[in-house]
Amino acid sequence: MENYKHGEDEEAGALALAACVSHIFPMALDAAIQLDLFEIIARAGVGALLSPSDIVSQLSTSNEGAGAVLDSLLRLLATHSLLTCSVSRLENGGTERRYGLAPAGKFFVGDENGVSFAQFRALTSWGEMQFRHRAYWWDMFVEVPKGDAILLKFILHNWSDEKCIKLLKNCYEALPNKGKLIVMDYILPNSPQTDIHAKYVTKLDVIMSTKLEGKERTKDEFETLATKVGFAEFKVVCCVYGMWIMEFIKSI
């Protein structure tokens, strides 16, 4: 099968079929998080590889077919580069798959504070969650406290251009000359791309436009907002995990 050559139409058809069942992966990821699969593998130690039966032994289940079901789920996670998979030949002639944490999968294991990307998936049921910390806030559409620098972290993508301009004007007024507004947000590519970051931000764009009144923006759209408000300079500073840091500078 390794030498089989797919034609362009066949490859395109396979991509279309994969899109039809794309909802399966989020469901599998939710199940993996609820079952603590990433944590179970992590507790086995660095570089550990566990078979489905190894993992089932740590789950509360009486389902005799749990190992086969779990193997299917783990294999799907491996095809999305969250797990590694090693296949070995058994004495009876069969094969056994063992799974370990891939670099991306480690982000679903809690750090020293118990924080991981698993909490991000839990935001789908945000209304049922309780905040751990108290936060002090103010209505930035009314007034922004004065300061040499202001940070807007994933704020602008929640709002329409009109409301962003209103908010940014308040930030502008709160800054001194040469003051800096630091914006942390995602940046859409000008034309559709197929890399992992582009796929992620375009999905966020759909969420923002359907659940809120906001949207993800291109670099040019961010610069247009800055110019309309009166900022003298706009800079894209750096990018971490697809998240961009931009600076709106009041005067040069």
Residue 127 has pLDDT above 80, yes or no: no
Residue 128: the pLDDT is 46
- Looking at residue 50, the DSSP 8-state letter turns out to be B
Mean pLDDT in residue range 247-251: 94
In degrees, rounded to 5, the angle at the alpha carbon of residue 213 between the alpha carbons of residues 173 and 16 is: 135
Extents of the domains making up the chain: 8-127, 149-249
Residue 113: the pLDDT is 83
Residue 115: the pLDDT is 83
DSSP 3-state assignment of 229? helix
Query: Which among 6, 23, 157, 197 is annotated as catalytic?
Result: 157
Residue 241 has pLDDT above 90, yes or no: no
Known catalytic membership, residue 133: no
**What CA–CA distance (Å, rounded) separates 34 from 36?**
5
**What CA–CA distance (Å, rounded) separates 225 from 231?**
9
Taking 3-state DSSP, the helix, strand and coil percentages for the chain, each rounded to the nearest 5, stand at 45, 20, 40
End-to-end Cα distance, the chain: 62
Please answer whether residues 18 and 10 qualify as being in contact, where contact means their C-beta atoms are separated by less than 8 angstroms: no
- Per-residue pLDDT tens over the stretch 184-238: 999 999 888 888 888 889 988 988 888 888 999 999 999 999 999 999 999 999 9
- Per-residue pLDDT tens over the stretch 75-97: 999 999 999 999 988 888 888 89
Classify domain 8-127 by CATH architecture.
Orthogonal Bundle (1.10)
Query: CA dist 154 to 84, 90, 149, 185, Å?
Result: 32, 51, 16, 5
**What CA–CA distance (Å, rounded) separates 71 from 98?**
9
Residue 7 has pLDDT above 90, yes or no: no
Fold of 149-249: Rossmann fold (3.40.50)
pLDDT above 90 as % of the chain: 56
Residue 135: the pLDDT is 47
